[in-house]
Structure 1
Amino acid sequence: MESTTQAATVHDLDAAHLAAWPLPQPEAEGDKELRGHVLVLGGSREMPGAIILAATAALRAGAGKLTIATGDSVAQLVALAMPEARVIGLRENDTDGFHLDALESLDPLADKVDAVLVGPGMRDAPCTARLVHALLPRLDGAGVGLVLDACAMDVMLHMPHDWPDDKPMRFARPVVMTPHCGEMAHLTGLAKECIVGQPDTPALQAARDWNAVIALKGARTVIAAPDGTLWQHEGAGNIGLAISGSGDVLAGIVVGLLARGAPPEQAACWGVALHARAGDRLAQRMGTLGYLAREISMEVPALLEQLGRNDGSKHVPDGTGARHVPGDEQLGG
């Protein structure tokens, strides 16, 4: 990644901006199908809880229907923990990855789901990348939204055997990716310290090059779109959110909003804002340290109502009033 990509402005994801950018709402007389069908693909023998956290968050974000695809070894456990979901067991290999024959179970779902999350709790990155590469044409053809989290983002690094050496990985349709700074360093080859200190440029460069909405997580989270638009979220959330499973919850919120009909950049921005504000609510009630990732999504429904009622009439989300980002920093590392 060698470029000088830099946004002229960055939009603050405050309450006014969110209220002026309302989420799609289902018809009052609609059924669960109209609220969106989510497929969450992930989990492993050692981390079945990650997929439960993500799936729960997708429903808390308002999705109406849920299917979970996970390993045979934990499918029954997940089904008992998630009575709201249909759970599909997939054949596993010795490294906790899924065999490509999982496509036989997943392919028919492409015409039935609205959004897919891949990654929470998965452990075999090369195997996961092969599965994602195999799924992409089917999901693209059906117009299904996609969120990649955790090792599923390694699809950028592990190409199919017949992939041309001189062809960089780029998605045909924008997907959402949710790396933290360490994962972003792994994906780009940049030094983690450079990304932590100046996340805007790496996020924008990746968004443009990969045709992805990048939610680069940190104390200040930035969300970059392929067209160069940049948002930031700071001043909410707290160190309590830095806990195992928190990222799974964020990914679940994002895919739930995507299933409801939000475009990728809106789902990512609202997801980040809801996640941070949920952390603030828990910190106020329970203390900054010690609340659990499973408790984050419980705050989301009330926050959706609250943010949806705020008056955003004074905010124009097309750049007016956005903060200027000085300089023309180059990527390095």
Structure 2
Amino acid sequence: MTLHTHARPRDLDASLLRSWPLPMPSFDADKEERGHVLILGGSREMPGAVILAAVAALRAGAGKLTVATGNSVAQLVALAIPESRVLGLAENEAGGFTVEAVAALDPLADRINAILIGPGMQDEAATARLVHALLPRLQGTETSIILDADAMGAILHPPSGANPPFRFGVPVLVTPHAGEMAHLTGIPKERIADGDDRLALEMALRWNAVVTLKGARTVIATPQGERWQHEGGNAGLGTSGSGDVLAGIIAGLAARGAELAQAAGWGVVLHARAGDRLAARLGRLGYLARELADEVPALLEQAAGDAADAASRPSGSFAGGKG
């Protein structure tokens, strides 16, 4: 589906989602048809982040999962996610990965449909070097690339001899919240929300990236000038690990064949709806990020049902309801 530029961001509501259905596997599809996602992240201090993202990618429907993480935590991650293949990568003293990791990941480059880099990674400069070492190999494939957390530092730390900000040769997806956007742009955090539409679009054009600027109101902008917005969820989503889950959902949808903006839009809505379901059962504060992913399959099933009988179902039943 091609969406054209509008004077204001389009609302990610039930009507739009019904007109923008996710790629669906055939009835007899195997795991290959549902896509292979690679999650690159984790560290000695934050192994949980890559686990949260990886589980969320599977809950979003990806068929195959590979996790690449530090040698120090690889066994822990493998035990936590028995559905995954886990690769252990060499680490530096600061907890980042060395560029030798590229050699370990190279055989996967032609076999993955989406890669998420960043959850739980440490040492922004080392992470940026790794991203820039991987990009030439990945951008020669049809792999969707999602950069989260420290991996977005590739914008501030371009390859040697280049001046920041880095502009991607092929569009990637980045997922900053206001604090991360302030870090990437030098704009004070308190000013981000005042101009998030303009800022998201400006950075999408400058970086050649799909920008998902997260917050109570999330804005998605593309280098082609397309914009979407979503207001929803609840305060409970502002909890440790929530962003890792969102990034994993987006990566899982991209592995299934959703274009980057579509994966981001659907991911934001599913993440918010999952928070609403948990809030209805447990209360708005205190539910855990790891509980969000468990809500996603039922929400996807509900969305598929809504699309199937859209002619008879009242508008707003998925994105507007409380589930």
Structures share fold, TM-score greater than 0.5 = yes
1:113 aligns to what SS in structure 2?
coil
1:195 aligns to what SS in structure 2?
helix
| Contact 2:156/2:165, CA 8 A, preserved across alignment | no
Whether 1:293 and 2:292 are equivalent positions in the alignment is no
Which residue is 1:134 aligned to? 133
Measure, in 2, the Cα distance between the counterparts of 1:184 and 1:206.
9
Deviation at 1:162, TM superposition (A): 3.2
| Contact 1:20/1:313, CA 8 A, preserved across alignment | no
Structure 1 length normalisation: TM-score? Answer: 0.90
Which residue is 2:318 aligned to? none
Which residue is 1:258 aligned to? 254
2:9 aligns to what SS in structure 1?
strand
Which residue is 1:192 aligned to? 189
Structure 2 length normalisation: TM-score? Answer: 0.92
Measure, in 2, the Cα distance between the counterparts of 1:233 and 1:56.
24
The 5-angstrom pairing of residues 266-277 of structure 1 reads 266-277=262-273
The alignment yields a C-alpha RMSD, in angstroms, of 1.4
Deviation at 1:168, TM superposition (A): 4.6
| Contact 1:122/1:128, CA 8 A, preserved across alignment | yes
The 5-angstrom pairing of residues 44-55 of structure 1 reads 44-55=43-54
| Contact 2:56/2:249, CA 8 A, preserved across alignment | yes
Deviation at 1:198, TM superposition (A): 2.3
Deviation at 1:313, TM superposition (A): 6.3
Deviation at 1:308, TM superposition (A): 2.2
Q: Which ranges of structure 1 fall in alignment gaps of 5 or more residues?
A: 1-5, 315-333
1:172 aligns to what SS in structure 2?
coil
Measure, in 1, the Cα distance between the counterparts of 2:96 and 2:38.
18
Which residue is 1:220 aligned to? 217
| Contact 2:157/2:165, CA 8 A, preserved across alignment | no
Which residue is 1:320 aligned to? none
The 5-angstrom pairing of residues 157-196 of structure 1 reads 157-163=156-162, 165=163, 168-196=165-193
Which residue is 2:23 aligned to? 24
Measure, in 2, the Cα distance between the counterparts of 1:153 and 1:143.
20
| Contact 2:34/2:255, CA 8 A, preserved across alignment | yes
1:271 aligns to what SS in structure 2?
helix
Which residue is 2:32 aligned to? 33
The 5-angstrom pairing of residues 68-79 of structure 1 reads 68-79=67-78
| Contact 2:157/2:166, CA 8 A, preserved across alignment | no
| Contact 2:158/2:165, CA 8 A, preserved across alignment | no
| Contact 2:233/2:275, CA 8 A, preserved across alignment | yes
| Contact 2:6/2:227, CA 8 A, preserved across alignment | yes
Measure, in 2, the Cα distance between the counterparts of 1:199 and 1:168.
19
Provide the aligned length of Structure 1 versus Structure 2. 306
Which residue is 2:227 aligned to? 230
Whether 1:147 and 2:146 are equivalent positions in the alignment is yes
| Contact 2:11/2:230, CA 8 A, preserved across alignment | yes
Measure, in 2, the Cα distance between the counterparts of 1:278 and 1:247.
13
Which residue is 2:298 aligned to? 302
| Contact 1:16/1:313, CA 8 A, preserved across alignment | no
Which residue is 1:43 aligned to? 42
The 5-angstrom pairing of residues 105-144 of structure 1 reads 105-144=104-143
Whether 1:205 and 2:178 are equivalent positions in the alignment is no
Kindly indicate whether structure 1 or structure 2 has the higher relative contact order, using CA contacts under 8 Å at least 6 residues apart: 1
Measure, in 2, the Cα distance between the counterparts of 1:135 and 1:182.
26
Which residue is 1:326 aligned to? none
Measure, in 1, the Cα distance between the counterparts of 2:301 and 2:280.
19
Instruction: Specify whether residues 208 and 313 from structure 1 end up closer, same or farther in structure 2 by C-alpha distance, changes over 3 A only.
Output: farther
The 5-angstrom pairing of residues 62-73 of structure 1 reads 62-73=61-72
Measure, in 2, the Cα distance between the counterparts of 1:70 and 1:140.
21
Measure, in 2, the Cα distance between the counterparts of 1:158 and 1:7.
33
| Contact 2:246/2:268, CA 8 A, preserved across alignment | yes
Q: Which ranges of structure 2 fall in alignment gaps of 5 or more residues?
A: 313-323
Measure, in 1, the Cα distance between the counterparts of 2:88 and 2:153.
23
| Contact 2:37/2:112, CA 8 A, preserved across alignment | yes
2:120 aligns to what SS in structure 1?
coil
Deviation at 1:142, TM superposition (A): 1.4
- Structure 1, residues 297-326: CA drift from partner, whole Å, max 9, x if none? 100001111122225569xxxxxxxxxxxx
Measure, in 2, the Cα distance between the counterparts of 1:49 and 1:93.
19
Which residue is 1:56 aligned to? 55
